[in-house]
Chain A
Amino acid sequence: MAAVQDGGSELEGEKEPKPELMNDGSTAPAAAPSSRPEDQQTLLAVLQFLKRNKLIESVDALRREAGLADEPEEAPGSEAAGGAGGAAAGSGELGDAGALLSRVSGGSQSAAAPAPAKGGDDQPDVSVVLSAYSQQGDPSLYQVYYSGLKKFIESVLDCHRAELSQLFYPLFVHMYLELVYNNHESEAKSFFEKFNGDQECYYQDDLRVLSGLTKKEHMKGNETLLDFRTSRFVLRISRDSYQLLKRHLQERQNNQIWNIIQEHLYIDIFDGMPRSKSQIDSMSGSLAGEAKREDNKTKVYYGLLKEPEIEVPLDDEDEEAENEEGKPKKKKPKKDSMGSKSKKQDPNAPQQNRIPLPELKDSDKLDKIMYMKEATKRIRLGPESLPSICFYTFLNAYQGLTAVDFTDDSSLLAGGFADSTVRVWSVTPKKLRKVKSAADLGMIDKESDDVLERIMDEKTASECKILYGHSGPVYGVSFSPDRNYLLSSSEDGTIRLWSLQTFTCLVAYKGHNYPVWDTQFSPYGYYFVSGGHDRVARLWATDHYQPLRMFAGHLADITCTRFHPNSNYVATGSADRTIRLWDVLNGHCVRVLTGHKGPIHTLAFSPNGKYLASGSTDGRVLLWDIGHGLMIGELKGHTDTIYALRFSRDGEILASGSMDNTVRLWDAIRAFDDVETDDFTAATGHVHLPDNSQELLLGTYLSKSTPVIHLHFTRRNLLLSAGAYNSQ
Chain B
Amino acid sequence: MAEERRQKQCSVVLPSESMKAMAESMGVGQLQEDSCVALSEEVSYRIKEIAQDALKFMHHGKRRKLTTSDIDYALKLKNVEPLYGFQSQDFIPFRFASGGGRELHFYEEKEVDLSDIISTPLPRVPLDVSLKAHWLSIDGVQPSIPENPPPATKEQQKAESTEPLKAVKPGQEEDGSIQGKGQSGTSAEVKGKEKLRMKPRSTHELSVEQQLYYKEITEACVGSCEAKRAEALQSIATDPGLYQMLPRFSTFISEGVRVNVVQNNLALLIYLMRMMKALMDNPTLYLEKYLHELLPAVVTCIVSKQLCLRPDVDNHWALRDFAARLMAQSCKTFSTTTNNIQSRITKTFTKSWLDDKTQWTTRYGCIAGLSELGPDVIKTLIIPRLTVEGVRIKAVMEGPVVSNIDKIGADHVQSLLLHCASVIAKIRPAPDVVDQYRTDYGYLGQMLCSHVVKARTQAALQAQTVNRTTLTITQPRPSLSVSQSGGVGSSGGSRTPSIIKVPSSLTLMSTRPATPTQPSPPATKYIVMATSAGAASTQQVITLSSSQSSSPVTSTVTSVSTPLQPLVKLESGGGAVAGSRPMQKYIVVSLPSSSSSSLEHKGGATATSPIAIETTVKSERSESPATHTHSPH
A residues less than 8 Å from B9 (CB atoms):
208, 211
Cβ of A515 within 8 Å of any chain B Cβ, yes or no, is: yes
Cβ of B112 within 8 Å of any chain A Cβ, yes or no, is: no
B residues less than 8 Å from A425 (CB atoms):
131
A residues less than 8 Å from B3 (CB atoms):
197
Q: How far is A179 from B159 in the complex, measured between Cα atoms in Å?
A: 55
Cβ of B193 within 8 Å of any chain A Cβ, yes or no, is: no
Q: Which of B130-147 contact A (CB under 8 A)?
A: 130-140, 142, 147
Q: Which of B50-73 contact A (CB under 8 A)?
A: 52, 56-57, 59-65, 69, 73
Cβ of A609 within 8 Å of any chain B Cβ, yes or no, is: no
Known: A396-B126, A557-B56, A699-B174. A389 touches B137 (CB 8 A): yes
Residue of B nearest to A215 (CB): B41
- B129's partner among A386, A390, A395, A491 (CB-CB below 8 A) is A395
A379 to chain B, nearest CB (A): 9
Decide if A698 touches B136 in the complex (CB within 8 Å): no
Cβ of B380 within 8 Å of any chain A Cβ, yes or no, is: no
Q: Mark B181-196, 1 if CB is under 8 A from A, else 0.
A: 1001000000000000
Decide if A388 touches B138 in the complex (CB within 8 Å): yes
Decide if B149 touches A699 in the complex (CB within 8 Å): no
Residue of B nearest to A475 (CB): B60
- B139's partner among A217, A386, A395 (CB-CB below 8 A) is A386
A residues less than 8 Å from B48 (CB atoms):
209, 212
B residues less than 8 Å from A567 (CB atoms):
none
Q: Mark B26-48, 1 if CB is under 8 A from A, else 0.
A: 00000000000000011011001
Decide if B174 touches A211 in the complex (CB within 8 Å): no
Q: How far is A493 from B44 in the complex, measured between Cα atoms in Å?
A: 28
Known: A213-B45, A394-B129, A425-B131. A418 touches B69 (CB 8 A): yes
Residue of A nearest to B181 (CB): A384
Decide if B136 touches A663 in the complex (CB within 8 Å): yes
Cβ of B89 within 8 Å of any chain A Cβ, yes or no, is: yes
Cβ of A397 within 8 Å of any chain B Cβ, yes or no, is: yes
Place the interface of chain B in its size category. Answer: 35 or more
B residues less than 8 Å from A515 (CB atoms):
57, 60, 73, 77
Q: Mark A171-213, 1 if CB is under 8 A from B, else 0.
A: 0000000000000000001001100110000000001110111
Decide if A393 touches B59 in the complex (CB within 8 Å): no
Decide if B10 touches A701 in the complex (CB within 8 Å): no
Decide if A391 touches B134 in the complex (CB within 8 Å): yes
Known: A214-B41, A491-B73, A699-B180. A398 touches B126 (CB 8 A): yes
Cβ of A572 within 8 Å of any chain B Cβ, yes or no, is: no
Residue of B nearest to A720 (CB): B133
**Among A80-88, A452-460, A702-710, which stretch is in contact with chain B?**
A702-710
Known: A214-B45, A222-B49, A704-B147. A386 touches B177 (CB 8 A): yes
Cβ of A293 within 8 Å of any chain B Cβ, yes or no, is: no
Q: How far is A533 from B57 in the complex, measured between Cα atoms in Å?
A: 10
B residues less than 8 Å from A514 (CB atoms):
77
Cβ of B11 within 8 Å of any chain A Cβ, yes or no, is: yes
Q: Mark B495-518, 1 if CB is under 8 A from A, else 0.
A: 000000000000000000000000
Cβ of B109 within 8 Å of any chain A Cβ, yes or no, is: no
- B132's partner among A192, A211, A395, A415 (CB-CB below 8 A) is A395
Residue of A nearest to B63 (CB): A400
Known: A694-B170, A701-B137, A704-B147. A209 touches B52 (CB 8 A): yes
**Looking at B11, B65, B126, B136, which has the most chain A CB atoms within 10 Å of its CB?**
B136
Decide if B62 touches A401 in the complex (CB within 8 Å): yes
A residues less than 8 Å from B126 (CB atoms):
396, 398
Decide if B61 touches A400 in the complex (CB within 8 Å): yes
Decide if A396 touches B128 in the complex (CB within 8 Å): yes
Cβ of B25 within 8 Å of any chain A Cβ, yes or no, is: no
A residues less than 8 Å from B136 (CB atoms):
389-391, 663, 701, 703, 721
B residues less than 8 Å from A491 (CB atoms):
57, 73
Cβ of B148 within 8 Å of any chain A Cβ, yes or no, is: yes
- A385's partner among B56, B129, B139 (CB-CB below 8 A) is B139
Q: Mark B1-36, 1 if CB is under 8 A from A, else 0.
A: 011001101110000000000000000000000000
- 23 examples of A-B residue contacts, CB within 8 angstroms: A193-B7, A193-B10, A212-B44, A387-B140, A388-B135, A391-B134, A394-B130, A396-B127, A399-B129, A401-B62, A427-B131, A491-B57, A575-B56, A617-B59, A641-B59, A697-B170, A698-B180, A700-B174, A701-B174, A702-B148, A704-B147, A704-B149, A721-B136
For the complex with contacts A396-B130, A641-B59, 20 further pairs of A-B residues with Cβ separation under 8 Å are A207-B6, A209-B52, A211-B6, A214-B41, A214-B45, A384-B181, A386-B137, A386-B177, A395-B129, A402-B62, A418-B69, A473-B61, A475-B61, A533-B77, A599-B59, A697-B170, A698-B140, A701-B136, A701-B142, A704-B149
Contacts from A to B (Cβ < 8 Å): 189, 192-193, 196-197, 207-209, 211-215, 217-218, 222, 383-402, 413, 415, 417-418, 423, 425, 427, 464, 472-473, 475, 491, 514-515, 517, 533, 557, 559, 575, 599, 601, 617, 637, 641, 643, 659, 663, 665, 694, 697-704, 707, 709, 721, 724, 728
Closest 4 CB pairs of A and B: A386-B140, A212-B48, A389-B136, A391-B136
